């Protein structure tokens, strides 16, 4: 069945309006779920696939001053705090600052451990590299969410 142009246009407008109305909350909640999930995993030994590279990165940046367990608890708590802040829209400026700082940390292994990030530099990423590069989307999501902190809205024409 072929939709007439006018019917398609009305459906398209309705869907676009729904996306404008609900897109930001869905983005905020979905990013919150990621931070909560990944953060909670770090409280349990061996559950987080990012545990090894995260510990090595923070250990290198802190010159070995912290134990692996402390590093994981700090990182887990940091990520869970971001998740809670996003989920419940709490202290959004501070939550987003924590998100951006954490994202800087997640990209650091590209500089510190390129052999662990790239299978073939610069074309083929390892699983750890893919885990890192996907954070570009989270940074972009943080920017969009941050645009709403002072009342900005997603609107249609």
pLDDT tens for each residue of 3-48: 567 898 999 999 999 999 999 999 999 999 999 999 999 999 999 9
Percent pLDDT > 70 in the chain is 97
* Parent domain of 48: 11-146
Residue 5 lies in a domain: no
Residue 3 lies in a domain: no
Write the CB contacts of 114 (distance below 8 Å, at least 6 apart in sequence): 121
95 contacts 81 by C-beta, under 8 angstroms: yes
Residue 4 lies in a domain: no
Residue 62 lies in a domain: yes
Q: What are 125's two structure tokens?
A: 């990423």
Q: Where are the beta strands (DSSP E) in the chain?
A: 118-120, 124-125
How many structural domains are present in the chain? 1
Which is more confidently placed, 88 or 156? 88
Q: Which candidate, 35, 130, 47, 45, places its Cα nearest to that of 82?
A: 35
pLDDT of residue 2: 59
Q: What are 93's two structure tokens?
A: 């400026």
């Amino acid at each position: 069945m072929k939709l007439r142009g006018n019917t398609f246009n009305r459906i398209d407008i309705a869907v676009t309006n729904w996306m404008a109305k609900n897109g930001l909350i869905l983005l905020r909640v979905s990013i919150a779920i990621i931070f909560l999930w990944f953060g909670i995993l770090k409280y349990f030994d061996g559950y987080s696939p990012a545990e090894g590279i995260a510990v090595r990165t923070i250990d290198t940046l802190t010159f070995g001053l912290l134990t692996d367990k402390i590093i994981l608890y700090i990182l887990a708590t940091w990520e869970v705090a971001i998740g809670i802040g996003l989920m419940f829209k709490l202290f959004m400026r501070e939550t987003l600052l924590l998100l951006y700082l954490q994202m800087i940390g997640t990209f650091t292994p590209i500089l510190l451990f390129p052999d662990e990030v790239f299978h073939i530099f610069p074309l083929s990423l390892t699983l750890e590299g893919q885990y890192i590069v996907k954070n570009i989307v989270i940074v972009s999501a943080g920017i969009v969410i941050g645009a709403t902190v002072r009342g900005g809205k997603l609107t249609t024409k």
